[in-house]
Amino acid sequence: MVNNGRDKKTTPQRRKNKKKDKNNNADDDAAAMKDMDLPDDFSIFGGASSMGSSNMGFDDGGLYDDYNDDGGDGGDGNDDDAGGDGGAEAIDRAEDAAMNRAARLADALSLASTLSSEKRSTKREGGYRVLFKAITQHAAGEGGQEVLESHWSSIWEACLSSIQGRGNAKPSEQYAACRVLEACSVVLGEDRDDVVETINGPLTKIVNATGRATQVRSAALRCLAMVHFICGTDCLEEGEDCGSVMDLCEKVGNENYRGEVVSPLLRATALDCWSLLSTTFHDGHIAAGDGFDDDTGLGRGLQLLPLLASCLDSSEAGLRRSAGECVSLIHECRLNLGLDGEEADNTTERRFRRGSWDGSEWEVLMDEVKQRIAELSVESSHHMSKQAKKQQRATFRDFMNTIVDDESPEEIVNWRGGKLTLNSWKEIIQLNFVRHCLQGGFQIQLMYNDTLHGVFGATFNASGTSLSQLEKRLFMSKTSEASKAADKAMTKQRRTRTNVKNHFLTADGEDI
């Protein structure tokens, strides 16, 4: 067509700048973050937060200064150096410290009622961090337990909303909520079936949700195990009792669960939880059977041995450690079967008594497990770091002493004014689980928590309440005679160890 020598100009269409919907973008980001896995070393105290402060805008108000409310070395120096009325003043200081802790705890727990209405996930996560530190470090004794019980409904409501993913809750927030519930169970104490029935259902759903982050599912499973261990009783109905949680741990501990491959971190957590809950049963329930007693059913631990043997061949160090600890517990339960008080101290004859594996269906499998644990105790692979190899050797040497040599383990826990000696894997597993739960508040709860006193079968007295400031400097300070003697002994041990390593450089060995 002829256009009369002139092309028709087309008017360019202006592109309309579409305004981005900030709300939609925020929802997309939150949904993407919800599907992301947290790092394996993620902790309630740091790590995966995008904010510089771990409190996410919540002011802790100096809640977490050193636990010196009872008048430690950092006091105001008003005490008489000679002692004086040290007993009365110590009691007054202890009472004032308890009142201060209760006031600080109440201020921190008041945040729980505001978390459900908070729209930002990072700020809710910061609130849970504040709650966790307050519960573990200030909810001590009967006073702290009463304050926590008065705020329990608001804490549970906020944590339930987070673990269910409401408000686009990020995995870090869900993890923090599970850790708060786990710490609450230790403080609330024993004989609390109402707490178990409340928490059991929602947390079981989180563990079964394969789309959740691995760390969230692991934290939910640890919380579920701790709640049953501390708060549960034998009066719970079938399906909500401790046995049902052990069944869940056995399923999650396999390579595949609900049609998907299980993460090694979650498998290791499942074995740790199984070990903790098995300490609440009699030894016969764990390791009895297989021809020794016709009337006794096969122990749950014996049925788990093939799975544990396969876990020892895993490339993940955490899974190997959890499996080795579980085998050590089962072997200890096996040795304890049929032993009287006098016979229990004789380790030379324990292998040939009723608790032995000799002549049983599991003898060949246990020989393979013993060989594998012995290999791991001296492994020197190049694919592992020096620190990882050192830690693995030390860990599996302890396992080997029990499984191969039938020796009891020993662990000593030092705390202010005394120490606790543990001589069985049951006690060590319980202690490690509680220590992992409470973290920075472990020793505080160990001194004041009556439930922990009953678990470990000991009575603890908070040290420092009957000592003057001069006595504290003499016996508890780093410059005391006891500390100086310990430092000199350690220096001598280091020098001797160094000389032994360099012995080939010397001619006569007189330096050792």
Query: DSSP labels for 320-373?
Result: HHHHHHHHHHHHHHHHHTT--TTGGG--SSGGGSTT--TTSTTHHHHHHHHHHH
Would you say 161 and 206 are in contact if contact means Cβ atoms under 8 Å apart? Answer: no
Please report how many Cα atoms fall inside a 13 Å half-sphere around the Cα of residue 20, on the Cβ side. 5
Tell me which residue of 231, 230, 146, 136 sits closest to 192, measured CA to CA: 231
CA dist list (Å): 66 to 69, 183, 243, 371, 444: 8, 20, 40, 47, 11
The alpha-helical segments, DSSP class H, found in 209-263 are: 214-231, 242-252
Predicted pLDDT of residue 470: 67
15 DSSP assignment: P
CB atoms within 10 A of CB 436: 13
What are the φ and ψ backbone dihedral angles of 260, each rounded to 5 degrees?
-135, 155
Q: What angle (nearest 5°) sits at the alpha carbon of residue 409, between those of residues 403 and 410? A: 170
Would you say 133 and 60 are in contact if contact means Cβ atoms under 8 Å apart? Answer: yes
CA 122, 22, 216, 39 torsion: positive or negative? negative
CB atoms within 10 A of CB 134: 27
Q: Along the chain (512 residues), what's the average pLDDT of each consecutive run of 10 residues?
A: 46 45 43 51 53 41 42 39 51 71 83 88 92 90 87 93 90 94 94 93 94 94 96 86 94 94 95 96 84 61 93 93 95 79 50 65 90 90 83 92 90 76 92 92 87 78 54 70 83 85 64 51
Predicted pLDDT of residue 179: 95
What residue type is assigned to position 109 of the chain? L
Would you say 155 and 184 are in contact if contact means Cβ atoms under 8 Å apart? Answer: yes
190 DSSP assignment: S
Q: Name the E strands within 133-261.
A: 256-257, 260-261
Predicted pLDDT of residue 222: 96
Predicted pLDDT of residue 19: 43
Predicted pLDDT of residue 498: 84
Q: Name the pTM for this structure.
A: 0.76
